[in-house]
Amino acid sequence: MLGKRLGVDLGAESLRIVVRGEGQVFAEPAVVARHRRRGYAAAGLPALELAADPEMELVRPLRGGLIIDRSGVAALLQRAINRGAGRQRIFRPDVVVAVSPPMSGDDRLTILDICAQLGTRTAYLIDSPVAAAMGAGQVLSGPRAHLIADIGAGTVDVACLASEGTIAGRTLSQAGDDLRTAVRRRLRERLGEDLGDVEAEEVVTSLACVGQHEERRMPLRLGADGEERFVEVVSTEIADLVDEHSKRIAQAVREVIDETPVTLRREVLQDGISLCGGGARLEGLDRYLGLHCGCPARVVQEPQTCVIRGTQIAVENLDVLKRSFVYIR
């Protein structure tokens, strides 16, 4: 077959693309630049370059695993396909797109329809926990069940997976974005000035820790109205927000374990839960889940790229996987 095969991780924060046989993963922000009068102008990295234009606004077309802007998603997928297969192509590519499990049937059909309009030969969808499990090296066709938590910016997807497919699952729409928003709100109340996304992410990355920890401090530069000033942020200021975020994830994991059939639950509790996604890097989260869920928890290697690695495996084994709706559909 002469056409390229592409894998796309369509996340709320990041757009990742992989091409079969090339191995390189392209990562871009999942944003589009929309002109206030003329509509969409760019997606991904080119969109960020237009952010300084007062006539442009940056839009995230996906939120909580759902499509909130169809035209924006079309712009993202066009960017992904052009980046992976090239703008000038003779043969149409095949595409596998990783999506969050709660995405509705209409939204899934929308993605498939957009891919067809963009000139793909075939398009398939794979749920992100399935892709994450494959990317973590788990063998889903084997006899054992696996527990996976994909902790992203838009959703937290927890699933028990086995050869029959998804045995039990939970999705939280309150994920990394909501933690960052809560931190911004808390600091705005104290500082009287709103932080940008970059500053809020720095605070979460540097100070957020689940459970008891030694107090941490970081300087933060603010520059409202052209007057620069430095303030100090302390980890205890956001500790309750981090703990609440962790409690929601633990509750989802416990619910999935409780819904797992008894015949599979024992091996799930023995093997534990694999944590992937950018949110899995939250310090102390693995220890917290292990303590409150009754099973070991471990962060997989390079958790932020786990879904796209699994999508790449799906792309490379597409002829086998497309015979069954357990993995792709």
Residue 319 or residue 103, greater confidence: 103
| Pair (123, 166) in one structural domain | no
| Domain presence at residue 75 | yes
8 A C-beta contact, residue 133 and residue 124: no
32-35 and 5-10 beta bridge pairing:
unpaired
Domain count, the chain: 2
| Pair (22, 77) in one structural domain | yes
Provide mean pLDDT across the span 183-193: 88
| Domain presence at residue 217 | yes
Estimate the crossing angle of helix 239-259 against helix 176-191, to 10 degrees.
Answer: 160
**CATH number, domain with residue 45:** 3.30.420.40
| Pair (176, 241) in one structural domain | yes
| Pair (314, 275) in one structural domain | no
Nearest alpha carbon to residue 160 among 254, 26, 243:
254
| Pair (63, 80) in one structural domain | yes
Handedness of CA 134, 140, 141, 143 (dihedral sign): positive
| Domain presence at residue 328 | no
Band of the pLDDT at 2, cuts 50, 70, 90?
low
Helix (H, G, I), strand (E, B) or coil at 7: strand
For residue 242, pLDDT beyond 80: yes
| Pair (239, 175) in one structural domain | yes
User: Which residue intervals of 33-127 are DSSP H helices?
Assistant: 45-49, 70-85, 105-117
Model pLDDT, residue 224: 59
**What residues pair up with 97 in beta bridges, in sequence order?**
8, 125
| Pair (98, 236) in one structural domain | no
| Domain presence at residue 12 | yes
Range of the domain at 208: 143-299
| Pair (147, 124) in one structural domain | no
pTM of the entire predicted model: 0.89
Chain segment 140-157, per-residue pLDDT in tens = 877 789 999 999 999 999
For residue 326, pLDDT beyond 60: no
| Pair (91, 179) in one structural domain | no
Model pLDDT, residue 296: 95
Model pLDDT, residue 7: 94
| Pair (215, 311) in one structural domain | no
Find which of 49-53, 184-188, 241-245, 323-327 is predicted with most confidence, using mean pLDDT: 241-245
| Pair (290, 154) in one structural domain | yes
| Pair (151, 280) in one structural domain | yes
Chain segment 52-96, per-residue pLDDT in tens = 888 899 999 998 889 999 999 999 999 999 988 876 667 889 999
